[in-house]
Amino acid sequence: MMYQKIAIAILLLCSQVLPASASNNSELTTDDLHAVVATAKTWKGTPYRYGGKDKSGIDCSHFVYSVYNRVFEGISYRVAEDFPRSADFNRTQSPHVGDTIYFPGVNGASAHVGILTDVASKKFIGAQSSTGVKEASFAKGTYWGKRPYQILSLLSK
């Protein structure tokens, strides 16, 4: 019984002393997420190149990494398949503009990632092999809308 009281006292003390970001992951601001989208749109028209890392040609994972790293320094690079397991991202049921959309690889198609630009209209921007960096739709009936997807939110930086 005494140990329970001590544990509760420690928990209460820690919850008052630690900043909120140390005890939970607070959400990014709307301005942060809009900065992500604005940065992503500066890449429009960049051609697709597998393994590409710059505006002469870029692939989807380098695109998402480059955008997020420009807005939030210190984001680690990862290939598309690794986004759902990343410590930087968390799956969400409440998508926001600026979140990441992840399409797992299915039926021989590679995994793909992009950045949400319009939640209501189901649009994202990404480096597609067929179009380069361009906005695309994941609404029902579209190419991307036929694939399963997850929305991943960047954890506070």
Q: What does the pLDDT look like over 10-48, one tens digit per residue?
A: 333 333 333 332 222 346 788 989 999 999 999 999 999
Round to whole Å and give the CA distance between 123 and 144. 10
Q: Rounded distance, CA 58 to CA 127, Å?
A: 7
Query: What 3-state class would DSSP assign to 157?
Result: coil
Reading the block at residue 64, the tokens are: 């998402």
Shortest CA distance to 155 belongs to which of 111, 108, 92, 106? Answer: 92
pLDDT tens track for 122-148: 999 999 999 999 999 999 999 999 999
Strand partners for 154:
89
The crossing angle, in degrees rounded to 10, of helices 60-71 and 30-41 is: 130
pLDDT, the chain, mean: 84
The model's pTM is: 0.81
